[in-house]
Amino acid sequence: MSDTGGFEKRREQFYDWMAREGISLVMFEDAEGKRDPALRWFSGQPMDALLFLSVDRRSLLIPWDINLAHCYAQVDILIPYGEFDRQAGTALRGAVAALNTPLGSKIEIPASTPYPVFLRHVGDMTDFDIICRDRGAGAAVEKMRALKDDEELAVLRTAAAITNDLIDLLEKKVRAGHIKTETAAALLIETEARNRGCEGTGFETLAAGPGRSFGIHAFPAYTGAAFGGPGLSILDFGVKYRGYTTDVTLTFVREPGRAQERMLALTEKAYALALSLVKPGVPARAIAAAVDTFFAKSKKVMPHGLGHGIGLEAHEAPAIRSREDNRWVLSPGMVFTLEPGLYDPVHGGCRLENDILVTPEGAEVLTKGRIIWL
């Protein structure tokens, strides 16, 4: 996203949090093996950089690829990582100097920092209070990102429209017999998503024909096995557009038996129940618990959570699950999946998943995932 104002508004929200916490500087790190979507959310830089936010409302990005940063980053200061020998500790000291961080002030580094590295930072910067905590800056950003702003919602709506086009195309191709294998379905999604301006898929597509749909997430993700034949076939995919991903699941049905028809009917009813409960102020756990209870009445168990937030990540806040530690309450601006499903080692599996936006009035269904009868 290129709207400088959007990134600045997000940073302003975070600067206020920093002031309340008494923190002068916060460091975010996105690198191979430790990805952090906060980097892109605050700056527009897609990946591979250190981002420093100062309580005096200045932002500093230290990217590995300075050319990429000139194309995407919207920050106050840019310094190539090479100037710090591509060492995080050296870059941290350089950021403190560049931003004139006061001696003795608190500097928060990522919660993912290994303990030995944390100790090294503490030893190298004795004039500052280096803090590293589990429920600190990262948790604050997670809570902020759970509520999508207008710019984010515009991107997600475009991503959903592309997803819906692909759903219609997939149904047409499977019906016509042009898609006969799991691989053909997955590669069609990859190709058509990129042809429509997407960065690719939001995650590895899961395509499971009747012989493999019994798994929640098929392994391998897709093979050359038959797809769309007699029984139940599952297709779980999302497209990534300007960093934001969708997530839908289609179930293709051909010549189902009685047990499969019952699974499908229960899944559709569970989805309708969940959707009817989506309103501001409703605990996310209550929706998931209602679906669990519904399935239990038919002596069925859904072996996964009811849903999860989506955005810059395929799985983010809020959680839509019945675990007791789930404290999320629905608010306007939240976007998440609802994806009830049932799975049987003999009869296969079915899942129905769509992306839902919470509005002041209730639920807006962004995608058109469905059970497709062939």
Task: Tell me what the mean pLDDT of segment 12-20 comes to.
Answer: 98
Query: How do the domains of the chain map onto residue ranges?
Result: 4-144, 146-373
User: Helix/strand/coil (H, E, C) string of the chain?
Assistant: CCCHHHHHHHHHHHHHHHHHHCCCEEEEEEECCECCCHHHHHHCCCCCEEEEEECCCEEEEEECCHHHHHHHCCCCEECCHHHHCCCHHHHHHHHHHHCCCCCCCEEECCCCCCHHHHHHHHHHCCCCEEECCCCCHHHHHHHHHCCCCHHHHHHHHHHHHHHHHHHHHHHHHHHCCCCCEHHHHHHHHHHHHHHCCCCEECCCCEEECCCCCCCCCCCCCCCCCECCCCEEEEEEECEEECCEECCEEEEEEECCCHHHHHHHHHHHHHHHHHHHCCCCCCEHHHHHHHHHHHHHHCCCCCCCCCEEECCCCCCEEEEECCCCCCCCECCCCCEEEECCEEEECCCEEEECEEEEEEECCEEEECCCCCEEEC
Q: Is the pLDDT of residue 194 over 50?
A: yes
**CATH architecture group of domain 4-144:** 3-Layer(aba) Sandwich (3.40)
pLDDT score recorded for residue 4 = 58
Residue 130 scores a pLDDT above 60: yes
pLDDT above 70 for 230:
yes
Report the chain's mean pLDDT, rounded to a whole number.
97
pLDDT in tens, 55-82: 999 999 999 999 999 999 999 999 999 9
CATH number of 146-373: 3.90.230.10
Nearest by Cα to 168 from 369, 373, 374: 369
